[in-house]
Amino acid sequence: MRTEQPKMIYLKDYQAPDYLIDETHLTFELFEDHTLVHAQLVMRRNPTLSADLPPLVLDGQQLELLSVALDDRELSAADYQLDDSHLTLQPTAASFVIDSSVRIHPESNTALEGLYKSSGMFCTQCEAEGFRKITYYLDRPDVMSKFTTTLSAEQHSYPVLLSNGNPIASGSEEGGRHWATWEDPFMKPAYLFALVAGDLWCVEDQFTTMSQRAVTLRIYVEPENIDKVQHAMDSLKKSMKWDEEVYGREYDLDIFMIVAVNDFNMGAMENKGLNIFNSSCVLAKAETATDAAHQRVEAVVAHEYFHNWSGNRVTCRDWFQLSLKEGFTVFRDSEFSADMNSRTVKRIEDVAYLRTHQFAEDAGPMAHPVRPDAYMEISNFYTLTIYEKGSEVLRMIHTLLGAETFRKGSDLYFARHDGQAVTCDDFVQAMEDASGVDLTQFKRWYTQAGTPRLEASASYDAAANSYRLEFRQSCPATPGQAEKLPFVIPVELALLDAQGRELPLQLVGEEAPVGRSRVLQVTQAEQAFTFINLAEKPLPSLLRGFSAPVKLSFPYDRDQLMFLMQHDSDGFNRWEAGQQLSVQVLQELIGQYQRGEALVLDQRLVAALRSVLQDEQLDQAMVAEMLSLPGEAYLTEISEVADVDAIHAAREFARGELATALFDLLWQRYQANRELSRSTAYIAEFTHFARRSLQNIALSYLVLSGRPEVLAACLEQYEACDNMTERLTALAVLVNSPFESERATTLAAFAEHFKDNPLVMDQWFSVQAGSTLPGGLARVQALMQHPAFTLKNPNKVRALIGAFAGQNLVNFHAADGSGYRFLADQVISLNASNPQIASRQLSPLTRWRKYDDKRQALMKGELERILASGELSSDVYEVVSKSLA
């Protein structure tokens, strides 16, 4: 909790550390009502700085200092200064040793940062600045040290004692306690430190690296979850292999461990050799985890594993460089997932997510560049911009350089900076050095916030057989950045003839065509490209694969979009054409609703989706993606002023009309796939995911018909399936359906069956929180009283409160402001127990500028109430104050 207004921290103020810590020797004595931490730090003056000896300022928060010694000399209170967040003392020589002992209270740590307890086990989360809640230290990523850790605990309750690196010694003590010592041979910053003590079981496996070293792999979970680990283990081995093949990166320690914990603020953490995971990102088996959960486990396991190089071996100099490791690692994990599953479908999912959520962030009060230049609370900067937009920036470099040169650049980066803490500039420099390409202008993607707009238009000159494409780019102002300079925007494109074939692409001045799909670089505010030798007017397929994170507009008419949906050879753009068509049709319906007119659906959308459903050649996952209308949150994002009720009504109307018009085809596809699900056992593999995704979206349309045979099918699927994907879909469909009594019975049966599985109960909460039927808030409030709910567990908060505010837009934005008041109440209460979670839950309120005047006033009123509610954490204070600025 802050005692004074938190200060802004600026990148321009960065200074190298005055002192370095060569060795860190930690001892933890873990008890039920406190923990003692002894730290011995072998330190020296930073040799790159002058020879004087400035005061040593160690970070430390919520620590009870028991003793501190400098080179074996016990210091008295007169020898040091102590405040809320620092211990300051005066070294007397260039090399010295600090010994400190502190008492901390993991048993009452509800913020889940530093050392804390989750379901009876001890665990840690140190990134970004949690280590300072464990001991006095230079808690910054550019101070790297060799760690040795000894932990002791009561043996019966904590049989497993883990830390980073390799186990080197262990033994028992009197009084039923035992201890273990771990040594990590790699220098690392404190944010990668980890410790675990608990009653855990593990699944063990082995991986042989490319240089034939055997690595032991262990995944630790609570005993009752030991049957849900295999998928994560398979994912880990695939990740290790993929990183060797695609990036040439080999694992470095002899052991790699993952531990699953129930209470975790994020998805997982890449601590060296000892990854700690939210159990939701480890545990997966058919009966209890959906296909989406299986894919998330695979992606997160890969992400954390990939950090071993992009993050740990080469780390960040300071937290402004966070995207150096996060953007790069997200790019790596998304390519991995694309290789393991379907590349096009993965791209569609990522782009839909980016455009709905990151674009909204980029247009709101928290907008910041991929490399921010100021922050108050670094925990607030683990954002969609740092992660997802950061990944898009890397993807653009990959597109501009080509895969082979990109690989040369990454090899150079890893070789040049192994063991160092570096900046985004260092990364780009390695890419430039390996490629000879000047990326100076490209680097504006790191420094300018906001989503660029790219307007394209075209004209065909029949006499000259030439086709001129004109681009105009601009970027809206964001907080602190009124004016933007032009970006480098890679636009991958093709020109299609009347049969949908790609035409040869020859620009004016070129001797011969250069391929049929190519990347243009738009680098100026206005820029034109003229293609020649085109005997007919082509239709452009622009920004293929979403080659840049921009808002592209081109004046396609609906017939042209239908044509692209059927003929574009770029799978992503086929989907994109369908989305653009749907957006046009839905916006028309929104207008009709707002004018009080009868809603009339453009039949071209029906025709387009009919041909998608009839296309037996098309990957079923693609069919499912193309049947999914743009979400309400995306329609909100692209509205000038979002009319929540009109958006909901228009979208539901369109779904209803489609369900009626396409009933037979949907029913056929549903039954064929359900039959396959009935006759084959569950496999967590892409063709099965694809089949079930089509089956499930078909069911969600079919139920809108209200027909009894659909209800029967839904109940059959619920009862007879062998996996959570089908069961949860059937439940979700019932929950949003008019079949009231079946809904109640099924919800009750589900809860009874799965009451002991917290992750499944999270799904049960989410499904209900997302129900857009009237009375949403009352249902959520009632669910908060359910015995399985607790505000202490971040997954529960996300499942119920997060899903309500983020996905149930009509209920959350109820005109009387009740949804806003509810969310503000939860934020105020979470602010005291878990500031990071409180601050994240706030984000729907920060978007107040998107809504009508009445809602704006209500939302602002709640933000003001939070601000006035008492002592705010720096996390919540930063978001609220910036939102109101």
Give residues with Cβ within 8 angstroms of 398, minimum separation 6. 331, 406
- What ranges in 132-257 are assigned the alpha helix state H? 230-247
**C-beta of 325: minimal distance to ligand B3K in Å?**
7
Q: Which residue is nearest to ligand B3K, using beta carbons?
A: 127
* Distance of alpha carbon 68 from alpha carbon 47, whole angstroms: 25
Q: Shortest gap between Cβ of 74 and ligand B3K (angstroms)?
A: 35
Q: What is the smallest separation between the CB atom of 609 and ligand B3K, expressed in angstroms?
A: 37
How many C-beta neighbours within 10 Å does residue 245 have?
11
Could you give the residue ranges of the DSSP H alpha helices within 307-423?
322-340, 343-353, 359-362, 384, 390-401, 403-417
Instruction: Pick left, alpha or beta for residue 89 (phi over 0 → left; psi -120 to 50 → alpha; otherwise beta).
Output: beta
Burial class of residue 479 in the structure, from the number of CB atoms within 10 Å of its CB (0-12 exposed, 13-18 middle, 19+ buried): middle
Contacted by 266, from Zn ion, ligand B3K, none: CB < 5 to 8 Å by type: ligand B3K
Distances (CA, A) of 803 to 174, 242, 378, 402, 765: 49, 34, 25, 39, 9
For residue 506, which phi and psi values (nearest 5 degrees)? -125, 120
Q: CB 127 → Zn ion: shortest distance, Å?
A: 9
Q: What Rg value do the Cα atoms of the chain yield, rounded?
A: 28
Contact call for residue 291 and ligand B3K (CB under 6 A): no
448, 550 Cβ separation under 8 angstroms: no
Q: Is 388 in the site for ligand B3K (CB under 6 A)?
A: no
Cα 702 from Cα 713, distance rounded (Å): 10
Residue 304 annotated as catalytic: yes
Residues in contact with ligand B3K, counted by CB under 6 A, come to a total of 12
For residue 139, state whether it binds ligand B3K (rule: CB under 6 A): no
List the x/- string, 317-336, binding to Zn ion by CB under 5 A. ---------x--x-------
Q: Which is nearer to ligand B3K, 131 or 575 (CB)?
A: 131
The residue written with tokens 């692409």 in the block is 505
Give residue 602's identity as a one-letter amino acid code.
D
Instruction: Please select the residue that binds ligand B3K; options are 99, 139, 243, 270, rule is CB under 6 A.
Output: 270
Question: Nearest approach, Cβ of 62 to ligand B3K (angstroms)?
Answer: 16
Nearest distance in Å: CB 74, Zn ion: 41
Among the listed ranges 263-271, 571-579, 615-623, 728-736, the one in contact with ligand B3K (CB under 6 A) is: 263-271
Q: Which is nearer to ligand B3K, 408 or 792 (CB)?
A: 792
Q: How far is the CB of 303 from ligand B3K (least distance, A)?
A: 6
Q: Report how far residue 527's alpha carbon sits from residue 491's, in angstroms, rounded to the nearest whole number.
A: 12
Handedness of CA 552, 554, 558, 564 (dihedral sign): negative
Q: Does 539 bind ligand B3K (CB under 6 A)?
A: no
* Dist. CA 36–CA 654, nearest whole Å: 62
Tell which residue, 331, 336, 328, has the closest CA to residue 242: 336
Closest CB 264 distance from ligand B3K, rounded Å: 9
Q: Where are the beta strands (DSSP E) in 534-606?
A: 539-541, 551-553
Q: Which of 29, 99, 127, 576 binds ligand B3K (CB under 6 A)?
A: 127
CB nearer ligand B3K, residue 327 or residue 452: 327
- Which residues 299-328 are close enough to bind ligand B3K by CB under 6 A? 303-304, 307, 326
Query: Which residue type occupies 557?
Result: D
| Nearer of residues 275 and 620 to ligand B3K, judged by Cβ | 275
Rule CB under 6 A: is residue 586 a binding residue for ligand B3K?
no
Minimum Å gap between C-beta 307 and Zn ion is 6
Tell me which of 63, 128, 363, 876 binds ligand B3K, using CB under 6 A: 128
CA 733 to each of CA 727, 741, 771: distance values in angstroms, whole numbers, following the listed order: 10, 13, 10
Q: Does 736 bind ligand B3K (CB under 6 A)?
A: no
How is residue 629 written in tokens? 């209308």
CB neighbour list of residue 591: distance below 8 Å, 6 or more residues apart: none
Nearest distance in Å: CB 315, ligand B3K? 11
Nearer to ligand B3K, 91 or 130 (CB): 130
The label of the residue with tokens 């600090």 reads 98
Q: Does 839 bind ligand B3K (CB under 6 A)?
A: no
Using the rule CB under 6 A, is 259 a contact of ligand B3K? Answer: no
Count the neighbouring beta carbons within 10 Å of the beta carbon of residue 312: 20
CB closer to ligand B3K out of 128 and 363: 128
Binding at 272: pick from ligand B3K, Zn ion, none (beta carbon under 5-8 Å per type): none
Closest contact distance (angstroms) between CB of 505 and Zn ion is: 38
Among 39, 269, 316, 397, indicate the residue that binds ligand B3K (CB under 6 A).
269
- The sign one gets for the Cα dihedral 378, 382, 383, 387 is positive
Q: Which does 127 bind (CB under 5 to 8 A by kind): ligand B3K, Zn ion, none?
A: ligand B3K
Whose Cβ is closer to ligand B3K: residue 323's or residue 717's?
323
Residue with tokens 């809603």: 599
- What does the block give as tokens for 524? 């100026």
Tell me 514's DSSP state: -
- By CB under 6 A, name the one of 356, 358, 379, 506 that touches ligand B3K: 379
Which residue, 242 or 754, is less far from ligand B3K as judged by CB?
Answer: 242
Rounded Cα gap, residues 721 and 724, in angstroms = 8
Of 379 and 636, the one with the shorter C-beta distance to ligand B3K is 379
Closer by beta carbon to ligand B3K, 265 or else 811:
265
Rounded CA separation 817/478 (Å): 27
Q: How many angstroms separate the Cα of 660 from the Cα of each of 583, 610, 697?
A: 20, 12, 14
Q: Is 266 or 456 the residue whose CB approaches ligand B3K more closely? A: 266
* 329 class by beta-carbon count within 10 Å (0-12 exposed, 13-18 middle, 19+ buried): buried
Contacts with Zn ion by CB under 5 A: the residue count is 2
Binding mask 703-732 for Zn ion (x = CB under 5 A): ------------------------------
**Binds 382, which of ligand B3K, Zn ion, none (CB < 5 to 8 A, cut-off by type)?**
ligand B3K
To ligand B3K, the closest distance from the beta carbon of 702 in angstroms equals: 39
110 within 8 A of 80, measured Cβ to Cβ: no
What is the three-class DSSP state of 146? Answer: strand
Pick what 423 binds: ligand B3K, Zn ion, none; C-beta below 5 to 8 Å, kind-dependent.
none
**Can you tell me the distance from the alpha carbon of 238 to that of 208, in angstroms, rounded to the nearest whole number?**
12
> Is residue 755 within 8 Å of residue 794, measured between CB atoms?
no
Candidates 267-275, 532-540, 775-783, 785-793: pick the segment binding ligand B3K (CB under 6 A).
267-275
Catalytic residue among 129, 304, 388, 878: 304
Which residue lies nearer to Zn ion by CB, 106 or 327?
327
User: Binding of ligand B3K at residue 266 (CB under 6 A)?
Assistant: yes
Catalytic residues: 304
Which residue ranges make up the site for Zn ion (CB under 5 A)?
326, 329
Which residue ranges make up the site for ligand B3K (CB under 6 A)?
127-128, 266, 268-270, 303-304, 307, 326, 379, 382
